[in-house]
Amino acid sequence: MGKQATEMLKGILEGIVLAILSGRPAYGYEITAWLRDQGFSDIAEGTVYALLVRVERRGLVDVEKVPSEKGPPRKVYSLNSQGRAYLEEFWRTWSFLTERLEQLREGGE
Amino acid sequence: MGKQATEMLKGILEGIVLAILSGRPAYGYEITAWLRDQGFSDIAEGTVYALLVRVERRGLVDVEKVPSEKGPPRKVYSLNSQGRAYLEEFWRTWSFLTERLEQLREGGE
DNA sequence: ACCAGTACATAGCAACACCGAATACCGATG
DNA sequence: CATCGGTATTCGGTGTTGCTATGTACTGGT
């Protein structure tokens, strides 16, 4: 992805991670790997962890520490009801943006 | 729009403004008014001006000072070739994001 | 003993949108 | 003529975010 992506990801990456968690609980390392797999090639490791700390502090997710056979214990995050409400709000804003941009793209060129 | 919008706009607002300028030259006050009209209700006045200064400094736009009958002179911005290339890159990143998020939205709920 | 893979944390940095205030120019109203 | 509202731009300070770089810790294989 281009260099612009860094700024464009702000706020959106959070929505992406919450959307992932809305499907199933997951832990940081797993999420990072999934993102890279989906083409978010240069998402930094630390970025996801910092994001998870933030959403936890805001009470959008519940956390459970689960031992792993292959390394240190995992912190498994799951979306709670407050997080679900927040995610819906995210989708509303996202829809608004896609509509405006779609219009601009059609009219623009 | 919700409070999340502030963060989600980062990087995207720039694309929006450049997309506007790709259609026709415009000046700050005009762009701000247009944005409010389109539902970006709480875009701060200063935000657009600061953005325009940035894109000018990066050489994405050309500027012309035009006298106004109703106030101080306007700074009319128009997208140059470098800005056009940058805008295309923006659309590519945007497309990538919309695809990923569309998938997530379908799968998620 | 060493190294790679798994898993998490964090301090410092740059960029961006927001807030608030200031400046400047004009026409109309009192 | 003084003032107010609409037009138009600028700027310093703030908070949030993602990136970089580094450090820690646990496991299994060589």
Residues of chain A with C-beta less than 8 angstroms from the C-beta of B10: 7-8, 10-11
What's the gap in Å between the CA of B58 and the closest CA on chain A? 13
B97 touches chain A (CB under 8 A): yes
pLDDT in tens, A75-98: 999 999 999 999 999 999 999 999
Beta pairing, strands A61-66 & A74-79: antiparallel
Predicted local confidence at residue B88, as pLDDT:
96
A91 touches chain B (CB under 8 A): yes
Q: How far is the CA of A71 from the C1' of C1 (A)?
A: 19
Q: How confident is the model at residue B106 (pLDDT cuts 50, 70, 90)?
A: confident
B61 membership: H or E segment, kind and range: strand B61-66
Predicted local confidence at residue B35, as pLDDT:
95
Q: How high does pLDDT run on average in chain B?
A: 93
Residues of chain A with C-beta less than 8 angstroms from the C-beta of B7: 10-11, 14
Predicted local confidence at residue A108, as pLDDT:
58
- The candidate with the shortest Cα–Cα distance to B29, out of B68, B82, B57, is B68
Least confident of A67-71, A101-105, B17-21: A67-71
B50 touches chain A (CB under 8 A): no
A58 CB inside 7 Å of strand D: no
pLDDT in tens, B43-87: 888 999 999 999 999 999 999 999 988 889 999 999 999 999 999
Q: How confident is the model at residue B108 (pLDDT cuts 50, 70, 90)?
A: low
3-state secondary structure chain A: CCCCHHHHHCCHHHHHHHHHHHHCCEEHHHHHHHHHHCCCCCCCHHHHHHHHHHHHHCCCEEEEEECCCCCCCEEEEEECHHHHHHHHHHHHHHHHHHHHHHHHHHHHC
pLDDT at position B109 over 60: no
- The partner residue sitting opposite B2, judged by closest CB among A6, A38, A93, is A93
- The partner residue sitting opposite A19, judged by closest CB among B7, B39, B108, is B108
